[in-house]
Amino acid sequence: MVNQERKAEIANGLEIVMAQINAAAKSANRNPSDISLIVVTKTFPRSDVDFLYELGVRDFGENRDQEGVVKAENFHPDTNWHFQGQIQGNKIKSIVKWADVIHSLAEIDHAKTISDRHQMTESALPTKYPVLIQVLLDSEKRIERNGIEPKALIEFADAIAKNSGLEIKGLMAVAPIAENPDIAFAKMADIFSDFKEKFPMATWLSAGMSGDFESAITHGATHIRIGSSILGNRSYL
């Protein structure tokens, strides 16, 4: 496909999704500007990321270090790169260099490594590295997912909060496959509301993907992570 056609395709996808975000916000009596769209560019080429930037997108999501590092490096400085994939301990050193925030923290060892590695990057001091804690909503664990069980969340967050190198920005969740997202995200809204009483600085609720972002918006998501609705189906290599 020639470049201009691809750019038009992405522009069209983006326009449709933005309209859907606005409509969902409106029917939930929310201000659309309180909802941040993160475009998930995993598996898509850097040229698509360039088009998205030209179209005004500034927040990008990636799941893998190897991919994120090549897209984010030497990219425009006025962008935010969100790491949202399962964390591998040996990749943290690299991830904290290109990712501005990690959404998928779910292991205490990783928290310490993120903090230590962040402190070692020259540009970082004295800032804290922003993280979201991923919450496991799949009570029956139909498929294994990354995340902290809701009942263990406060204890986990207390341990993270003791680490002076990290800032708990909020919570992240993925709706379980084959469950009604409305039920999952309603549960998440309760968890988030309780969480904010103890951690008032945790203002982000990262929830909602292509198939369920409207439901996530209804239930208070502040950050939605959308890939295929904008960029098309991913072809896994």
Ligand X SMILES: *Cc1c(COP(=O)(O)O)cnc(C)c1O
Q: Which is nearer to ligand X, 103 or 117 (CB)?
A: 103
Q: CA 3, 35, 215 angle in degrees (round to 5)?
A: 95
Instruction: Tell me: does residue 136 bind ligand X (CB under 6 A).
Output: no
SS3 165: coil
Cβ 168 to ligand X shortest distance, Å: 18
Judging by beta carbons within 10 Å of its beta carbon (0-12, 13-18, 19+), is residue 69 exposed, middle or buried?
Answer: middle
Distance (Å, whole) CA 11 – CA 211: 19
Binding positions for ligand X, 145-204, rule CB under 6 A: 174
Stretch of 16-24, 72-80, 87-95, 225-233 lying at the interface with ligand X (CB under 6 A): 225-233
Stretch of 74-82, 122-130, 189-197, 207-215 lying at the interface with ligand X (CB under 6 A): 207-215
Judging by beta carbons within 10 Å of its beta carbon (0-12, 13-18, 19+), is residue 167 exposed, middle or buried?
Answer: middle
Instruction: Tell me: does residue 94 bind ligand X (CB under 6 A).
Output: no
Instruction: Tell me: does residue 228 bind ligand X (CB under 6 A).
Output: yes
Among 119, 186, 210, 232, binds ligand X (CB under 6 A): 210
Among 225, 235, 236, 237, binds ligand X (CB under 6 A): 225
Q: CA 162, 131, 55 angle in degrees (round to 5)?
A: 160
The CB-nearest residue to ligand X is: 227
User: 8 and 226 in contact (C-beta within 8 Å)?
Assistant: no
SS3 81: strand
Going by DSSP bridges, is the β-strand pair 59-62/80-83 parallel, antiparallel, or unpaired?
parallel
Instruction: Tell me: does residue 40 bind ligand X (CB under 6 A).
Output: yes
Instruction: Tell me: does residue 223 bind ligand X (CB under 6 A).
Output: no
Quickly tell me which residue has 């992570």 as its tokens: 225
Instruction: Tell me: does residue 215 bind ligand X (CB under 6 A).
Output: no
Instruction: Tell me: does residue 209 bind ligand X (CB under 6 A).
Output: yes
Which residues bind to ligand X, rule: CB under 6 A?
40, 42, 63, 84, 174, 209-211, 225-229
